């Protein structure tokens, strides 16, 4: 940890005044989309006030809690902030929304140096701005464990991508690669350091904003972000849509390292969560356009299976076509991995 004065030594209010000044300065030079929030009253008052926005408003709240979602030994301060914002922006991506603003609530152990909090909040602001959103304010309080709660809001211009729109016969498509974040956590948990490539999958997930927007516009019927694990989140999508699913294990997109681990008996791609990729259900007519949409979105789009009749359930197939047995299937915060 960096040295330096704590918040108790600096004083909460002087720290907050400096922070608000920095947020106001950032707000003037952030690259904007046409949905980026326009601040009428900047942070430092009782509320931030925004100009009226166009379109429907998608909103979400999510939190990262130390020793539940991450350990401080795994991530530096800026990475904690960036990851916390990315997790909430990923929910916007899964609706096909364009980010507009974020609000960040931080609970911080009093013994942490103020510089740590500065870096964390810079990470939050940077991740917001990279997605075209403005960090418009927040809240700060003392607590035993470091936690970062992010409310994110965005505009839906076209169709809203809900979980419940998938139809039997739809292609199931995922963005990017799966299992890397879980493989990094497994390495840390085993006391070893993950490779830089795996580490980045956990520390710097990229919310798939462009893919969500492009696929919503192109006619995708349903989406969810993969936070609990592919099979768990597929289960949520299928339950909401009233369909089953048949996934081909060999088609799951993986980094080379994850492919090797899964070949050796793990199931990171199928059941590891926290990659924050999107899982989408698309009419088969859209499959021919996926390369073009992948180019437009800047991320790989891979067909991993299809929606089937609900009575057929959710099946993960081996290359032989036989059902593959997966033990773990998603994260329950209150029970550990099921």
* 245-304 residues near its own copies, rule: CB under 8 A: none
Q: Scanning residues 60 to 79, which ones bind its own copies (CB under 8 A)?
A: 60-63, 65, 68-69
Site string for its own copies, 139-158 (x = CB under 8 A): xxxxxxx-x-x-x-xx-x--
In whole angstroms, what is the distance from residue 150 CA to residue 92 CA?
12
- Evaluate whether 281 touches 168 at the Cβ level (below 8 Å): no
Of positions 1, 21, 25, 40, contacts its own copies by CB under 8 A: 40
Site string for its own copies, 200-229 (x = CB under 8 A): -----------------------xxx----
Q: Residue count at the site for its own copies (CB under 8 A)?
A: 71
Q: Is 304 left (phi over 0), alpha (psi -120 to 50) or beta?
A: alpha
Q: Is residue 243 part of the contact set for its own copies (CB under 8 A)?
A: no
Q: Is residue 310 part of the contact set for its own copies (CB under 8 A)?
A: no
DSSP state for residue 113 in the 8-state scheme: B
Would you call 246 helix, strand, or coil by DSSP? strand
Q: Is residue 175 part of the contact set for its own copies (CB under 8 A)?
A: no
CA distances (Å), origin 53, targets 38, 39, 100, 136: 8, 11, 9, 14
Q: Minimum distance between the CB of residue 277 and its own copies, rounded to whole angstroms?
A: 13
Bridge partners, 278 (sequence order): 225
Q: Is residue 242 part of the contact set for its own copies (CB under 8 A)?
A: no
* The pair of three-digit structure tokens given for residue 159, joined into one six-digit string: 């169709």
Beta strands 301-308 and 222-226, pairing class: unpaired
Q: Minimum distance between the CB of residue 66 and its own copies, rounded to whole angstroms?
A: 9
Stretch near its own copies under the rule CB under 8 A, chosen from 55-63, 125-133, 203-211, 250-258: 55-63
Q: Minimum distance between the CB of residue 14 and its own copies, rounded to whole angstroms?
A: 10
Q: Scanning residues 181 to 200, which ones bind its own copies (CB under 8 A)?
A: none
- Evaluate whether 93 touches 278 at the Cβ level (below 8 Å): yes
Using the Cα atoms of residue 164, residue 174, residue 332 and residue 62 in order, give the sign of their dihedral.
Answer: negative
Q: Is residue 312 part of the contact set for its own copies (CB under 8 A)?
A: no
Stretch near its own copies under the rule CB under 8 A, chosen from 77-85, 95-103, 250-258, 290-298: 95-103
Q: Is residue 160 part of the contact set for its own copies (CB under 8 A)?
A: yes
Bridge partners, 172 (sequence order): 281, 305
- For residue 301, which of 263, 251, 227 has the smallest C-alpha distance? 251
Q: Minimum distance between the CB of residue 317 and its own copies, rounded to whole angstroms?
A: 25
């Amino acid at each position: 940890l960096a040295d330096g004065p704590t918040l108790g030594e600096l004083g909460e209010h002087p720290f907050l005044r400096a922070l608000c000044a920095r947020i106001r300065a950032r707000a003037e030079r952030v690259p904007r989309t046409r949905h980026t929030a326009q601040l009428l009253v900047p942070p430092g008052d009782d509320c931030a006030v925004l100009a009226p926005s166009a379109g429907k408003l998608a909103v979400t709240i999510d939190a990262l809690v130390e020793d539940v979602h991450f350990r401080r030994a795994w991530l530096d301060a800026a990475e904690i902030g960036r990851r916390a914002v990315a997790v909430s922006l990923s929910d916007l991506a899964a609706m096909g929304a364009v980010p507009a603003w974020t609000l960040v609530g931080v609970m911080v152990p009093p013994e942490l140096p103020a510089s740590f909090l500065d870096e964390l909040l810079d990470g939050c602001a940077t991740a917001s701005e990279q997605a075209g959103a403005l960090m418009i304010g927040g809240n700060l309080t003392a607590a035993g464990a470091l936690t970062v709660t992010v409310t994110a809001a965005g505009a839906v211009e076209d169709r809203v991508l809900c979980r419940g729109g998938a139809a039997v016969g739809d292609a199931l498509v995922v963005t990017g690669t799966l299992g890397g974040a879980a493989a990094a956590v497994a390495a840390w948990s085993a006391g070893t350091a993950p490779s830089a490539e795996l580490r980045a999958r956990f520390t710097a997930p990229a919310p798939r904003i462009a893919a969500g927007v492009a696929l919503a516009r192109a006619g995708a019927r349903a989406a969810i972000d993969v936070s609990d694990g592919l099979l768990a989140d597929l289960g949520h999508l299928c339950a909401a849509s009233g369909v089953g699913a048949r996934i081909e294990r060999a088609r799951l997109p993986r980094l080379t390292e994850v492919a090797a681990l899964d070949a050796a008996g793990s199931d990171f791609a199928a059941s590891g969560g926290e990659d924050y990729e999107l899982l989408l259900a698309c009419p088969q007519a859209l499959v021919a356009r996926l390369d073009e949409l992948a180019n437009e979105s800047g991320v790989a789009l891979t067909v991993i299976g299809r929606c089937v009749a609900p009575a057929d359930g959710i099946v993960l197939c081996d290359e032989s076509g036989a059902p593959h047995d997966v033990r773990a299937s998603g994260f329950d915060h209150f029970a550990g991995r099921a």
